[in-house]
A and B are shown apart, each in its own frame.
Chain A
Amino acid sequence: MLSYALRRLVGAIPTLFIIVTVAFFLIRVAPGGPFHLERPLDPQVMENLLKVYHLDKPLWQQYLLYLENLLRGDLGPSFIYRDFSVGDLLGSGLPVSLQLGGSALLLAFFLGTGLGSLAALYQNRPGDYGVMAVAMIGITIPNFVMAPVLTLVFALYLDWLPAGGWGEGALAHKLLPVFTLALPQIAVIARLTRGSMIEALRSNHVRTARAYGLPGHVVVIVHALRGALVPVVSYLGPAAAALITGSVVIETIFGIPGVGRYFVQGALNRDYTLVMGTVVMIAGFVVVFNLLVDLVYALIDPRVRYDR
């Protein structure tokens, strides 16, 4: 399994290279540059800025320069947050996003599979309809609506929780953003689990387990749920990468200093290096999580083996 993981990681290098190359040229095709601001710049100021950041060089030279720095682990300076490098920005934002996204992911996984299994066990009964109705709401109400509504209720009317800010990671500051971020994921996971659980409950191996007279909860948890989790796990890979690399909506509304907003801000500000930094980061996470998913398959499905 280890050699399989290594092979996969090495195989990801060309993928990352292509992503970096495409992203590098795509962002530069966009009209305007990092210094086309609402407040105009004097031509001499503009010239000096371009020179300092090597933006006056031909594009292919900038590209080679970027690759060279990237190989040394240097993501370059940010053009907009001029006192910070892209490495500084991602370095200070990523732990926050990891906490936020990781908590949301755990919450979504446990609540989602739990609710989905319940719905499957009580298929077409009130419990099922209830869970699926809530799931539908979770999927259809976008989080830019959910977040302000939750803040109004819990921070302004009830005055239980803070309305925003990160509070250096205090639990009270995390509750609303984690829940808002997890809600649509809970809904998706619950629906996925319900579907595959219903199928698993009718499958031969579960029928056999029941015929052996195993207790109901053992059948459900050990035999049915394990197989039912395969589609959930496939979904979790990309979902985890997306959650952990931050959510621009949640971060903006709750004022959380994560990395999610850098992607959007970077693109809008034409902060080329910042966009590239986030692209590299997200691509890295997607590669790693897809690999993890494949490895987890082997754990939950005995038919999958990578050692051959």
Chain B
Amino acid sequence: MSPVAAAKYANVLYPIVNAAEIHGGALPTSELGVVALDDRTLEITLEAPTPFFLELLTHQTGLPVHRPSVEAHGPDFVRPGNMVSNGAYVLADFVPNAQVKLTKNPEFHAAEEVRIDTVYFYPTEDRSAALRRFQAGELHSNNDAPVEQVAWMKENLGARFRVAPYLGNYYYAVNTGKPPFDDPRVRMALSMAIDREFIAEEIWGGTMVAGYSFVPPGTANYGAPAIADYHDQGMIDREDAAVALLAEAGFGPDNPLAVEIRFNTSENHKNTALAIADMWQPLGVEVTLLNSDTATHYAILRDKGDFDVARAGWIADYNDPQNFLFMVESDNPGFNYANYANPEYDALMDRAAAETDLEVRARILFEAESLFMRDLPFIPLMYYGSLSLVSDKLEGWQDNIQNVHATRWMAIRE
């Protein structure tokens, strides 16, 4: 939590007593609400009841590090030879952009259950190249696949190409601080006219799922998410309703609404934006597209630059609806690209944070998500899917919503 460490995920642990103050430099690290009572007991004191705290500890920030080696090596404690870890594997070698090599940890408490002795991780930027290496038998699995080759992979790889639901949302943030996008009717009309099934199937090859809520279905500590009520209406009815909403807001054939869609450069983001521009055309919306590289795009979103509608995506850090809904709290400027400020929403999120009964909390969060879906600071488009290439030889692979696949549970069949 020390500000000097400048940890990128420090804020994930803010539920711990004094964590935010320490990270802000107001308190020394010794004030953190974490104490080792004895060699085997850790006591963590929280600011408020945090029902998702156990989930949160599965995040990488919850992994233990070996104090003497951190103290001895400083930031170099992550180097092979310096790193002491308690998992099933130890770090043997790390060459940037070449490979990370892990070998079985003989000290691991269940070492006899670990069936793979050595693991190589190869970073592969080019998904098509990864597919070729996979086909050549050089990789047993790859955690991504080329979206443009989905049809081919489905036909030729069978069960070796896998798509699983993923805890993420692909959405368009709307600048709610800028007229006419401050009018919820405008945002609703734009959202209703989008044929999400078409985008998910035709553009993303079924690797995404049409999304009508912000929290993806299947998220822990939650029931069914607050699905938009128009999700089962036909596109023609939705278009009519959207035209009517826009007319109410003062837009029509004589006074067309102009929208600029911003996205970060990528073939599929572009195709998605083009499709949406096409879907908005019947509403008389005049769309312009603007793409920029990732750093520029997010700098504009973050620094409250001028935009109308902008593409963004969020993959949850932990499996809880709060990790989606917190994004548009009014005091969360880093994430709230839409500049959404609704005291009612904030109050619900505060109530949920103080609630220990998981069922009651889920209902409060559902209420918050319902507000979200009414106001649409973000227009949810699709739930992410995770794409994997998995060899027939690799046993023990389980698709899961967090897309975590520990080698510890796997084996290679000869």
Binding site for B on A (CB under 8 A): 30-46, 48-49, 51-53, 81, 83-84, 88-89, 92-93, 96, 148, 151-152, 155-156, 159, 162-166, 252-255, 257, 261, 268-270
Contacts and interface: CB of A to CB of B under 8 A. Distances in A.
A163 B126 contact: no
A33 B122 CA distance: 27
B171 to A, nearest CB: 13
What is the size category of the interface that chain B forms with chain A? 35 or more
Contacts of A49: 6, 8
B129 A270 contact: no
Nearest to A166: B98
8 contacts: A31-B299, A44-B10, A155-B136, A162-B138, A255-B122, A255-B123, A255-B125, A255-B126
A151 to B, nearest CB: 5
Interface string B240-283: 00000000000000000000000010000000000000000000
Interface string B291-324: 0111111111010000000001111000000000
A32 B6 contact: no
B72 to A, nearest CB: 16
A268 B128 contact: no
Closest 4 CB pairs of A and B: A32-B299, A32-B295, A257-B98, A42-B11
Nearest to A162: B138
Interface of B is mostly: mixed
Interface in B78-115: 78-79, 94-99
A151 B132 contact: yes
Nearest to B264: A38
B118 to A, nearest CB: 14
Contact of A45 (B8, B94, B300, B312): B8
A148 B132 contact: yes
Given A148-B132, A255-B124, A255-B133, A36 B8 contact: no
A132 B381 CA distance: 53
Contact of B129 (A36, A41, A44, A254): A254
Contact of B23 (A48, A261, A269): A48
A18 B251 CA distance: 55
B218 to A, nearest CB: 21
B338 to A, nearest CB: 12
A53 B75 CA distance: 14
Nearest to A43: B334
B7 A159 contact: no
B126 A93 contact: no
B98 to A, nearest CB: 3
Given A45-B6, A165-B133, A92 B96 contact: yes
Contact of B334 (A46, A83, A92): A46
A93 B97 contact: yes
B23 A40 contact: no
Nearest to A152: B132
A252 B125 CA distance: 6
Contact of B97 (A52, A162, A261): A261
A40 B314 CA distance: 9
Given A36-B294, A45-B9, A268-B295, 5 more contacts: A32-B296, A32-B298, A35-B8, A40-B335, A166-B98
A148 B146 CA distance: 14
B135 interface: yes
B299 A51 contact: no
Contacts of B78: 83
B295 A270 contact: yes
B333 interface: yes
B96 A33 contact: no
A251 B334 CA distance: 35
A89 B334 CA distance: 30
B96 A252 contact: no
Nearest to B315: A39
B133 A163 contact: yes
Given A36-B295, A41-B334, A51 B136 contact: no
B11 A45 contact: yes
A156 B10 contact: no
A36 B337 CA distance: 13
B125 A36 contact: no
A268 to B, nearest CB: 6
A93 B57 CA distance: 36
B295 A269 contact: yes
B23 A252 contact: no
B20 interface: yes
Residue of A32, A34, A152, A159 contacting most chain B CB atoms (<10 Å):
A32
A36 B298 contact: yes
Nearest to A42: B11
B3 A33 contact: no
B37 interface: no
B62 interface: no
B128 A148 contact: yes
A93 B98 CA distance: 9
A46 to B, nearest CB: 7
Contacts of B314: 39
A135 B312 CA distance: 45
A1 B130 CA distance: 50
A40 B10 contact: no
Contacts of A92: 95-96, 98
Contact of A156 (B20, B125, B132, B300): B132
Given A31-B299, A42-B11, A257 B129 contact: no
Contacts of B9: 45
Nearest to B295: A32
A252 B126 contact: yes
B24 interface: yes
B42 interface: no
Contacts of B404: none
